[in-house]
Amino acid sequence: MKKGRDWFLKTLRRTFINLHRHKPSVPKMDPAERFCYNPTLRWNPQVEDYLVKAYGGQHFSRISNALTRPSCYSCIRVNTLSSTSDTVIKKLLSTLQERGWQNNIAEGANARHHSDDLAEASLENDGPSLLPSVSIQDCYISKCEISSLDSVLFIKGSGPHTIDYGVKEDKPSKEVVVSRKCAEAVLRGAQVYVPGVLACSAHVEKGEPVAVSVAVEQAGADGGWGVGFTRGTVLQGSETDPYYSERSGLYIGQGTAMMSRAGLFRVSEGLAVDMTSRVFKLPSFHKLLEGEIFLQNLPSIITAHALDPQEGEKILDMCAAPGGKTTAIAILMKDKGEVIAVDRSHNKVHLLNLTGA
């Protein structure tokens, strides 16, 4: 019995030593290359070949780079039934100055405006600007100067900025991984909320600084797409982390954890990370001048104007959530008519009700 036990222990020890000896080494990664925002866009090869032929290699490369970065401008629409553009500008200036946004603009003057440079290069080579009358200049809030769109305001942000994540070789930085949709919102000025959090380093406590990275969906063997891990995964914070390399170049900023790791995955809502340093700095409009402004992209605003709704008409919006176009149509009708707004899920209809309230 003793001989059998000794033989088993020796065999187990020998196997462990051999496994350790033959463990593949993971190359060390330069922190500056890892802890940055430098995403790349991978196209379907057939689509890429088609677009390269259509636009030319250089122009297509500019398009691909620009698509990985957000606009440095936020676009909002004023509810002209309850306020005016001039009144909203004054309120926004006052509120954003109280939040220190003027300092962000000053800092942004020295930032590398990759997105703007790419857009300007494309427009210079390929035709006139799509927004010939938008003038930001020294002021970071301005009206759209197209006469029919004078209720549209633009707020200037800045980026990309280089973030110091305080990385040390002997102490991996604590990290929170968010979904792609959450990251897109953060790049446009939002905070990180609980539903967007997917994974977190161990032993994160409330009040600690955390780096915020993005989990981008990958193609699976079954033909579907996913991030490759379940919500609540503990990040190992080193090269041994199986998802370590996937997050390289996908860090969008640093913030303060507003909950402990345990708390993040025990609740369904609430502020998870208060973003203190962002790669792209744009103001957050969450609960700001509610009822007076709507955060909405310019193409959606133009869509409502192109429809040219008139008072007393009945209009059907069949893809209405979250309600930007629906409310824009109602305002253009001066609240005199009928707009029927529908969408394909209860959650989307709930968003409609919130926007139209």
pLDDT tens per residue, range 80-89? 999 999 999 9
| CA 208 remoteness from chain centre | 22
Tell whether 119 is in a known binding site.
no
pLDDT of residue 28: 61
Q: Based on the number of CB atoms within 10 Å of its own CB, is 276 exposed (0-12), middle (13-18) or buried (19 or more)?
A: exposed
Residue 88 phi/psi, 5° resolution? Answer: -65, -40
pLDDT of residue 131: 42
> Which is higher by pLDDT, 117 or 54?
54
Three-state SS for 156? strand
Residues 54-64 have a mean pLDDT of: 95
Three-state SS for 253? strand
Residue 83's nearest CA partner among 261, 345, 253, 290 is 290
Distance CA 168, CA 253 (A): 17
Q: Is a pLDDT exceeding 50 seen at residue 135?
A: no
Residue 325: how many other CB atoms lie within 10 Å: 21
Three-state SS for 272? strand
Tell whether 334 is in a known binding site.
no
Measured between alpha carbons, how far is residue 257 from residues 28, 100, 210, 330 in Å? 28, 21, 6, 40
Q: Domain ranges in the chain?
A: 45-156, 175-278, 298-356
Distance CA 163, CA 159 (A): 11
Three-state SS for 235? strand
Tell whether 211 is in a known binding site.
no
pLDDT of residue 141: 87
Distance CA 78, CA 56 (A): 40
> Which is higher by pLDDT, 220 or 237?
220
Q: Is a pLDDT exceeding 60 seen at residue 300?
A: yes
Which of 112-116, 257-261, 299-303, 342-346 is predicted least confidently? 112-116
Q: Is a pLDDT exceeding 90 seen at residue 176?
A: yes
pLDDT of residue 205: 94
Tell whether 319 is in a known binding site.
yes
Question: Do the bridges between strand 338-341 and strand 293-295 make them parallel or antiparallel, or are there none, so unpaired?
Answer: unpaired
**Residue 219: pLDDT band with limits 50, 70, 90:** confident
**Residue 117: pLDDT band with limits 50, 70, 90:** very low
Residue 222 phi/psi, 5° resolution? Answer: -85, 5
Tell whether 117 is in a known binding site.
no
pTM of the model: 0.76
pLDDT of residue 45: 93
Tell whether 190 is in a known binding site.
no
Determine contact, residues 244/238, Cβ cutoff 8 Å.
yes
Tell whether 323 is in a known binding site.
yes
**Residue 331: pLDDT band with limits 50, 70, 90:** very high
Tell whether 335 is in a known binding site.
no
CATH topology of domain 175-278: 2.30.130
Distance CA 297, CA 76 (A): 7
Determine contact, residues 50/260, Cβ cutoff 8 Å.
no
**Residue 64: pLDDT band with limits 50, 70, 90:** very high
**Residue 181: pLDDT band with limits 50, 70, 90:** very high
Helix axes 324-332, 298-307, angle to 10 degrees: 40
